């Protein structure tokens, strides 16, 4: 009886019998899903930024990596080249207007245009009671974490429009939903990126540019080392801290055709940590 039902299913729905073959083809296609695309990723020589560059490059994109230090750029470029990824590297302090313009202009001149922008650069010069934070701390954090993200977007959008559209991804944080103790100003800056995503998405949709955001939980990077504590792990459904590549893959997805109907959204990648504004 069961054999009869299976046979009838295959006769009426022949696609059902081709699942394995199609899945293999889809997997192969995903490895070249961003072929011909050019992606700028800021702060991309380590941690989440480097993982994003790897994920985009593995899918065929030419990635442009940057960091404030030339030695870090050289190391990242060598690593990506060893993985057969098309890569260009340069120094860039996103808090500096001349550096921002130089990064975009160099990308257009050497790579022919821009299709993807991933804003990953962030700083946190303060750790303590938020009431002890100074104006200088707020200026530094907001300049790099929020203003530069917008100003870089402003620079790349005309080039995305020339390519018929593209994708912008901001890297926020779980702290943008639930401010972390001793990280008050940083948490506020990450909440601002959630709002920036929602504000830009409808404005840029008419130019076929999608704007999304990723909010990582506690990821094992040098930047988040102070948070590798058991008290945070207890809040997770998946009882471990995340890996940079687990964020890089989500970023690459948001830049792909698979996410072509997604804009104005933030994907939380937190291992099950509660996230709600």
Residue 169 has pLDDT above 50, yes or no: yes
- State how far the Cα of 38 lies from the Cα of 35, in Å rounded to an integer: 9
CB 148 within 8 A of CB 100: yes
Catalytic residue list? 186
Supply the pLDDT for residue 220.
81
Tokens of 64: 């442009």
Q: What angle do CA 95, 71, 107 make, to 5 degrees?
A: 55
Q: Rounded to the nearest 5 degrees, what angle is found at the Cα of 254, between the Cα atoms of 271 and 90?
A: 100
In sequence order, the 6+-apart residues with CB closer than 8 A to the CB of 54 are 80, 83, 85, 245, 248
pLDDT in tens, 86-124: 999 999 999 999 999 999 999 999 999 999 999 999 999
Sheet containing strand 166-171, edge to edge, reads 87-91, 62-67, 38-41, 116-119, 166-171, 209-216, 266-269
Query: 17 or 242: which carries more pLDDT confidence?
Result: 242
pLDDT bin (cut points 50, 70, 90) of residue 3 is: very low
């Amino acid at each position: 009886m069961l054999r009869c039902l299976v046979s009838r299913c295959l006769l009426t729905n022949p696609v059902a019998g081709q699942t394995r073959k199609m899945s293999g083809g889809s997997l192969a296609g995903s490895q070249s899903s961003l072929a011909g695309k050019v992606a700028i990723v800021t702060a991309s020589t380590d941690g989440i930024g480097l993982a994003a560059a790897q994920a985009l490059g593995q899918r065929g994109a030419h990635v442009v990596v940057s960091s404030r230090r030339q030695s870090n750029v050289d190391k990242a470029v060598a690593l990506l080249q060893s993985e057969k990824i098309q890569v260009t590297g340069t120094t860039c302090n996103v808090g500096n207007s001349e550096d921002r313009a130089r990064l975009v202009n160099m990308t257009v001149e050497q790579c022919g245009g821009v299709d993807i922008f991933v804003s990953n650069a962030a700083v946190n010069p303060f750790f303590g009671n938020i009431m002890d934070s100074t104006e200088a701390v707020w200026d530094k954090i907001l300049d790099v974490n929020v203003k530069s993200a917008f100003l870089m977007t402003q620079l790349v959008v005309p080039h995305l429009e020339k390519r018929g559209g593209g994708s912008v991804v901001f890297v926020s944080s779980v702290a943008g939903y639930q401010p972390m103790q001793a990280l008050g100003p940083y948490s506020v800056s990450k909440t601002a990126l959630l709002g920036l995503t929602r504000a830009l998405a409808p404005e840029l949709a008419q130019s076929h540019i999608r704007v999304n955001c990723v909010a990582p939980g506690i990821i094992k990077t040098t930047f988040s080392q102070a948070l590798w504590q058991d008290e945070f792990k207890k809040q997770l459904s998946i009882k471990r801290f995340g890996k940079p590549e687990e964020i890089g893959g989500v970023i690459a997805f948001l830049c792909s055709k698979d996410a072509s109907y997604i804009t104005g959204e933030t994907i939380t990648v937190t291992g099950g940590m509660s996230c709600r504004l």
